Amino acid sequence: MTDEISRLIVERVDVLPSRAGWMFVTGVLSGEPVNIGDRVFIRNGEQATVATIKSIELHSRPGMTTIVLDADLRSIVTVIQRQE
């Protein structure tokens, strides 16, 4: 394991009416791999909220990843970082 922190720079956030309280966050993931069940910080400027990864999807488009979080904070998401 390296000391590099996992970070997802958010490109898009989606929600489904059938999955209230979940958000699907797509972006470029860097650093250590993330896993289902990891606790992550959702950052917007100086504010941070903690959520849990429920699912992970790798895309055929190189470098793109979607993670599903147990949160509905789509209006504030800019960066997601794994909680140490």
pTM score > 0.85 for this model? no
Q: How far apart are CA 54 and CA 60, in angstroms?
A: 20
- The model's confidence at residue 83, banded by pLDDT at 50, 70 and 90, is low
pLDDT in tens, 11-58: 888 888 888 788 888 998 888 888 999 998 887 777 778 889 999 988
Q: How far apart are CA 84 and CA 27, in angstroms?
A: 21
Pair 50, 40: CB distance under 8 Å = yes
pLDDT at 46: 75
